[in-house]
Structure 1
């Protein structure tokens, strides 16, 4: 038997409602028959922050340069009005050849609103809110965690709205099998699987996506970003966030056998074999708890006796992308537990360092190991993962009062390797460099920037800016200011990655110049896009109602009513060629969507298509990595907004308050910069007030807060003797400059 569907197709690594509910969502924006121009208004359906830039878009059937807009509150009272942007940002498709921006920055009062367009065009937007950061981003974080709870496997499931029940108890005593040969895509060529060991306990963990497979590769990423989100939010993090991160780490501890130095790669197989003697997970459409009672011989590997596969032979070196991200997840667990549970933190640190030590950095496998088959998750970079692992271990060591110097040096070396071959991707499952860079900067800030490292703080910050600049450039030229590529795979995840990177960059540098770009990306993700839908289920009025997800599909059908698959992030639109002309037949067991046809078909444009249908794994299959990207992106934006409101200040101190230099002589001293603001930003140093004939140099000019620069002074023979006051200034972007006075005696 061959696979009818597969997880997300080939998930590429490079990319910057019921019928009634959907009809209602579109009907509110359709023009009356006697109007000259028809159109729809696209907004961020979750809402906007009071102080941020606010954009909506009028998609019109013809240019509507004279159109006006009015913002109405929940009582229908006009609270703001203005002109729709006269210049179209471009054509989307033949039905909507004009897309006009609507700017309404003046709307700042909390409440619920809608935008009404008139004057040559007539349309009304869905409702949206003006919220504070906790109300906007906090809800996204909490709902994202709810999806992870839905994805739980094993005995510790949470019933939740979908009535989850324990499943796959047999994973507690699973057999280990040799890596099979693949005939094509995910179809196995072998007549049978070959058992080589076991039993091993791999019970628990999360289902990867709409199926029931469990992958170490994506679980490590998801666990790491959940911990990073918890760390960023601190005391305001929802209690469910830390508990869910711990749940992921518990399963990773099962996947990593420290005693034999074996990392288990995955549980289950996607498809059966070419001979048809056994099925795979993707050949069946069922509830997970039904697998435990399945006695079919053909279904043995798909249900009650799921195989486990190794990432490498016991004791052998492990693909560095895997070793790096797994060690990062363990190290983050050590960090967040360092204060509340020392024993747990120490165990997590030991796990992190042990798997890190197994990385095959001298001879990485090609292709890098991610899943079976590799086409499920083709990854091309590993330096970012190893930098990620080393940086998080260094931070954990610092929190546990251990020596972090070796890991700082490693992280810098791997960062240099990444920078020398950077792919230009954004933060997502396949590229963890943004978080790695930011946390390496933090570790260097704490550790005092040891000399001789392979990379500088300025280089790391510059690469974060490079990643943002690439997204900003794409957004500037896109009709809806999308910074991701909506013709590539998993654009929603990559776009949430831009939110992550911008928040990290802003926290470190204080530079807010990309904040508006981050806002535009959130707007696009939550409804201000061509399709007028949020790509996170349960957020806004229009969101995926018929996702490619077995549990949701079988527990609720597709009525579009509660409960929904709350918090799940789907792929989003992709290259229309991915559909090969049709969605194909419904798999046996699938519940059909109640809507007929594709209500989003009229919005296909620029080579990009979005379909909300249970058969559409290309655009509407949720996954833990994509939802994890949303959780950390929202958490970091919430934390960054709190930091921006809280402020901070720089300080500068000198190793001596007075220095003497003879004509034709020289002297030196240390200048140390610090900050009371969070995150350890980079600080720029400057010296003014030098007398004629005296030269001053700073090495380096930019330092990580808490570190020192060497200040060198040299006097020419012609320098006039006397006493002078020099001013040393320390400044980080967005903070108040601080100064220190140096008395210089020449003579």
Structure 2
């Protein structure tokens, strides 16, 4: 099998360490070298392949590095192999540019993705060609959470029990490839967007899109009764109650249904709302923390232009924070059912809320700043002592909280040491994984969320360097970016529209159906997918009759040719394990790339 060259298709930064990879037969690659030519065909760099980083699979028993770091001039280049295997290997294009040049189109595409995810009246037809959707969410009914069979994942109830309403929960974003809306993921995305607005160069449309999500999040908080709504839509039903996941369609088709109570599709049109807490009860601390953080970040970003609005956001953030259940028992509240998004850590969410409250109080001259900062330090220590420490992603926001607390002049030496050590721990954990991976990926390729966790490591490295002035993890972060954008075994990027090869057959109803109707092939530009997963999870999908068939593979290959070390990838509608995009995936990428752009 011909050697395969893998590069960062989105582009390398001119001033960073730059690596490509060649995977092939060890004997055939012995003595091989490489040549890089520029746009005018002139040789810009040549050299020998670096040492083997390990075996990938039986067909590609060695992976060799190509050091491109000497290329510092912005431009587009072609890399080709020289030596005995060169004749069967095609030249590969890549780009070099400044941080701003490389990240700007990626950031604009990330905003585009969220625009395509909009629900309610504010749907943008020019983005998708579709119409306003789920207008019945304007007067939605609140129901008790149904019971679920842990083996099947289906509800055991024959109906839902109404408890309150109506409430207006219209608008917001669809969570992923389906049409459910979750407070947990939306608050995470909004808070990351607002962090980027606050700390990074301006991205067209990003503040407006963050406010779109923020307006919906505000609807999910009932300050009068002290209730936080956690979800809109039924995620899993049964033979008598059809759920969002049981129907493949465009979202506006739900509004056109003619249904009565008791009909199987009743809750597809009249979508139920579920609570995170009962009136008077505390709120699960993971949700309370990240919602409070989002509101407090809104206060910070509004403070200069609209101090009155900023004050209202601060009051809401403080109210949600005060409702947190800081002695939770049992499972944390995430979604209904909870298996959709599982979470063990919660002290990190409380730390994030407290430090953002303190920062908002600082810019608004509120006397509670010192108290919230002390509480943030306390939650940071509690997180470090917990047994649920991870790296940046939907289930762990400690990196964001630590970095903002470190930026405080009053954090104190002892707390600063704890925070720096834990940020370093997260990056060292990724570094140990990368050392054992031929492509230097710092994530678990056989687990869910490999790509967003890679972006999380990029963001964490940027945050660490900002907070400490220590750039020891810059090269590690560059390799994680490169892996996400094509320097991996499959030779594909995992962000739609970035580079020459990226996902085309997404597990996403609007992309699948609206593309066939409108002919727009870039509907979900900017979407970030899960990427590789455990290979034995990727059984042949069985999509419903409503799905537009779609399958894409590299020319002359099946994706399985590149599977290795238990990890697999496939670009086919129905393969939600690898090509379903999600809001939290894309918001983490937006934040990471915004922080990279800020280097300029």
The TM tier, using the shorter chain, reads: over 0.9
Which residue of the other structure, out of 162, 167, 180, is the alignment partner of 1:200? 167
Which residue of the other structure, out of 550, 554, 558, is the alignment partner of 1:593? 550
1:148 counterpart = 2:111:
no
SS at 1:249's partner residue?
Answer: helix
Partners of 1:144 and 1:126 in 2: how far apart? Answer: 25
1:170 corresponds to which residue? 136
Partners of 1:466 and 1:606 in 2: how far apart? Answer: 25
Residues paired across the two proteins, number? 591
Q: Deviations over 1:330-361 (max 9, x none)?
A: 00110011101112111111110001000000
Give matches, 1:366-445, under 5 Å: 366-403=330-367, 404-442=369-407, 444-445=408-409
1:502 corresponds to which residue? 461
Which residue of the other structure, out of 599, 615, 618, is the alignment partner of 2:577? 618
1:653 corresponds to which residue? none
1:101 counterpart = 2:58:
no
Give the TM-score taking structure 1 as reference length.
0.77
Which residue of the other structure, out of 212, 228, 248, is the alignment partner of 2:195? 228
Partners of 2:459 and 2:495 in 1: how far apart? Answer: 16
Which residue of the other structure, out of 91, 105, 112, is the alignment partner of 1:139? 105
Give matches, 1:79-118, under 5 Å: 79-85=44-50, 87-118=51-82
Give matches, 1:533-682, under 5 Å: 533-557=492-516, 562-579=521-538, 582-595=539-552, 599-639=558-598, 641-642=599-600
Q: Conserved in 2, the CA contact under 8 Å of 1:220 and 1:326?
A: yes
Q: Deviations over 1:361-407 (max 9, x none)?
A: 02x14110000000000100100000000010000000100121111
- Unaligned runs of 5+ residues in structure 1 are 1-36, 643-747
Give the TM-score taking structure 2 as reference length.
0.96
Partners of 2:6 and 2:91 in 1: how far apart? Answer: 6
Which residue of the other structure, out of 268, 290, 293, is the alignment partner of 2:253? 290
SS at 1:128's partner residue?
Answer: strand
Partners of 1:635 and 1:532 in 2: how far apart? Answer: 24
1:655 corresponds to which residue? none
2:94 corresponds to which residue? 128
Structure in which a larger fraction of residues adopt helix: 2
Which residue of the other structure, out of 498, 506, 524, is the alignment partner of 2:483? 524
556-565 vs 506-515, which moves further: 556-565
Detail structure 1 runs of 4+ shifted over 4 Å in the superposition. 558-561, 594-598
Structure (1 or 2) with the larger CA radius of gyration = 1
Offset at 1:514? 0.5
Partners of 1:559 and 1:249 in 2: how far apart? Answer: 30
Offset at 1:424? 4.2
Q: Deviations over 1:318-341 (max 9, x none)?
A: 100010000000001100111011
Which residue of the other structure, out of 199, 212, 218, is the alignment partner of 2:185? 218
Partners of 1:584 and 1:623 in 2: how far apart? Answer: 19
Partners of 1:577 and 1:83 in 2: how far apart? Answer: 37
SS at 1:149's partner residue?
Answer: helix
Which residue of the other structure, out of 161, 177, 182, is the alignment partner of 2:148? 182
Offset at 1:594? 5.0
Partners of 2:498 and 2:266 in 1: how far apart? Answer: 37
Q: Deviations over 1:49-100 (max 9, x none)?
A: 1111110001113331211101122233322111112x21111001100111
Q: Deviations over 1:611-664 (max 9, x none)?
A: 11111010100000000110001111221x23xxxxxxxxxxxxxxxxxxxxxx
Partners of 1:335 and 1:575 in 2: how far apart? Answer: 41
Offset at 1:289? 0.7
- Unaligned runs of 5+ residues in structure 2 are none
Partners of 2:553 and 2:19 in 1: how far apart? Answer: 32
Partners of 1:321 and 1:98 in 2: how far apart? Answer: 44
SS at 1:160's partner residue?
Answer: helix
Structure 1 residues 176 and 553, CA gap change in structure 2 (3 angstroms) = same
1:718 corresponds to which residue? none
Q: Conserved in 1, the CA contact under 8 Å of 2:120 and 2:132?
A: yes
Structure in which a larger fraction of residues adopt strand: 1
Which residue of the other structure, out of 240, 258, 271, is the alignment partner of 1:277? 240
1:157 counterpart = 2:116:
no
Partners of 2:101 and 2:521 in 1: how far apart? Answer: 21
Q: Deviations over 1:480-535 (max 9, x none)?
A: 00011111111001010001100010001111111000000000000000000001
1:467 corresponds to which residue? 426
Q: Deviations over 1:293-342 (max 9, x none)?
A: 11145354443200000001012101000100000000011001110111
Which residue of the other structure, out of 438, 445, 459, is the alignment partner of 1:479? 438
Q: CA RMSD in A?
A: 1.7
2:25 corresponds to which residue? 61
SS at 1:391's partner residue?
Answer: helix
2:471 corresponds to which residue? 512
Give matches, 1:298-377, under 5 Å: 298-362=263-327, 364-377=328-341
Q: Deviations over 1:202-246 (max 9, x none)?
A: 00011000000000000010000000111111xx31231111111
